Amino acid sequence: MSERHNNSEDQFLIFGQPQIHQDEIDEVVDSLRKAWLGTGPKVSRFESEFARYKGTDSAHVAAVNSCTAALHISMLAAGIEPEDEVITTPMTFCATVNAIVHAGATPVLADIDPVSMNIDPAQIEKRITPRTRGVVPVHFAGRPCDMKSIMSLANKYGLKVIEDCAHAIESELDGRKAGTFGDFGCFSFYATKNVTTGEGGMILARDTSDIERAKILALHGMTKDAWKRFSDAGHVHYFVVECGFKYNMMDLQAAIGIHQLARVESSWNRRREIWERYQDEFSGLPVVRPTEPEAGSRHAYHLYTLQIDPKRCGISRDAFLDAMIDCRIGVGVHYLSIAQHPYYQQRFGWRPADYPNAWKVGEETVSLPLSPKLSQSDVERVIHNVRSILRS
């Protein structure tokens, strides 16, 4: 224990803390000084710069106030209806599943591949029924799913594909960017994500008509021209054409996102450096490390996870989490498997053992800090403490 670095003078390393530069601060202050806080020119600029990053144009994107909202709206724009079934992974954040439920559909889980931790296409096919209408692959930790197999299943069975790209803004597969394989890609700009706006999200759609519908749904169901009421183009009446939601992004959020997005590649490089350093430093430990990125793919390095098997490590996952916190290092769990949560057990009768690969990850996984904000000495402190906890 004595060699453990739990000096109480160390600052607590907050897990997933974003890196905020002066540019973001100045841009937010500029919005405040202009007193234009809500949806306006900065949201438009953020949309077009995001679209450019994805190799497309503004007609294919819609900024919203979270990835959860993006998933919900995409589900509706995809035509998912009550009575429909939508297949997703048990190794994800609850919002993925909740969005399916909010659309009125029934979520169905298909277990993960234990190595990639992504949804296993063979398991998807086993769960397809005559009611299946959609599939929501999640590019877990930033590792792209097997989109070739998933898209061929989607074509074979006529399924809509909504990619949950919350971890995957930079991910690519065979030169194609995450979010451009399916009908929709949904992105998160939550505070811990690779690009942040505090809270925020983006919908990317293959068909521009889906974006038009998404924009109506995201702003009370008002006609598209309603977005123009924020401009000086003269008075425009809007009409409510369906019962929509209040999911629009504010300029205050886009102000942060514009500068975060400008640094997306340099932040990616810094996380990749840390991720690779962890891979090297932990190679001799009795843990399961993430598998290396597959050839022809680009990993977004959103999470770095270790699996702590108590039989091999001599310490339980939960005891490891507590030991890290004693060392003043914030850690995460991504995630308990979906079927471990009481709500889903009660509502859908799911049992963790029905998804054994996700269950095992859910019981053993730990996420280490991986923010571009980490200094070199923060990274050394994480490495030192992980090694000493697992060796003691």
Ligand X SMILES: *Cc1c(COP(=O)(O)O)cnc(C)c1O
Treating both helix axes as pointing N-terminal to C-terminal, what angle do 317-326 and 376-391 enclose, rounded to 10 degrees? 130
Minimum separation from the CB atom of position 332 to ligand X (A) = 11
What is the three-class DSSP state of 289? coil
Q: Which stretch binds ligand X (CB under 6 A): 65-73, 249-257, 269-277, 356-364?
A: 65-73
Containing H/E element for 86? strand 85-88
What are the tokens at 297?
């793919």
Query: Of 371, 374, 355, which is closest to residue 363 (Cα–Cα)?
Result: 355
Minimum separation from the CB atom of position 32 to ligand X (A) = 23
Minimum separation from the CB atom of position 347 to ligand X (A) = 19
Measured from the CB atom, the residue of 65 and 297 that comes closer to ligand X is 65
Minimum separation from the CB atom of position 371 to ligand X (A) = 15
Query: Of 315, 288, 272, which is closest to residue 142 (Cα–Cα)?
Result: 272
Question: Sign of the C-alpha dihedral, residues 375, 380, 382, 383?
Answer: positive
Q: Is 66 in the site for ligand X (CB under 6 A)?
A: yes
Per-residue contact track with ligand X, 142 to 171, x per CB under 6 A?
----------------------x-xx----
Q: Let me know if 193 is a catalytic residue.
A: yes
Residue count at the site for ligand X (CB under 6 A)?
14
Q: Is 260 in the site for ligand X (CB under 6 A)?
A: no
Minimum separation from the CB atom of position 280 to ligand X (A) = 26
What are the tokens at 46?
């953020």
Measured from the CB atom, the residue of 47 and 164 that comes closer to ligand X is 164
Measured from the CB atom, the residue of 66 and 223 that comes closer to ligand X is 66
Per-residue contact track with ligand X, 186 to 215, x per CB under 6 A?
--x-x----------x--------------
Minimum separation from the CB atom of position 379 to ligand X (A) = 23
The interface with ligand X within residues 333-362 (CB under 6 A) comprises none
Strands 160-164, 106-109: pairing is: unpaired
Say if residues 134 and 75 touch (Cβ distance below 8 Å).
Answer: yes
Determine if residue 147 is left, alpha or beta; phi over 0 gives left, psi from -120 to 50 gives alpha, anything else beta: alpha
Q: Which of 13, 78, 86, 95 binds ligand X (CB under 6 A)?
A: 95
Q: At 147, phi and psi to the nearest 5? A: -70, -25
Buried b (16+ CB within 10 A) or exposed e, 95-117: bbbbbbbbbebbbbbbbbbeebb
- The active-site residue out of 193, 215, 228, 373 is 193
Q: Which stretch binds ligand X (CB under 6 A): 37-45, 89-97, 109-117, 336-344?
A: 89-97
Q: Which of 96, 194, 196, 385 binds ligand X (CB under 6 A)?
A: 96
Give alpha helix (H) positions in the chain.
Answer: 22-34, 41-53, 67-77, 94-102, 121-127, 147-157, 208-218, 251-262, 264-281, 310-313, 317-326, 342-348, 356-364, 376-391
Q: Which stretch binds ligand X (CB under 6 A): 92-100, 105-113, 204-212, 231-239?
A: 92-100
Q: Say which residue the tokens 């989490």 belong to.
A: 321
Q: Which of 31, 88, 92, 132 binds ligand X (CB under 6 A)?
A: 92
Q: Which residues bind ligand X (CB under 6 A)?
A: 66-68, 92-93, 95-96, 138, 164, 166-167, 188, 190, 201
Which residues participate in catalysis according to the annotation? 193
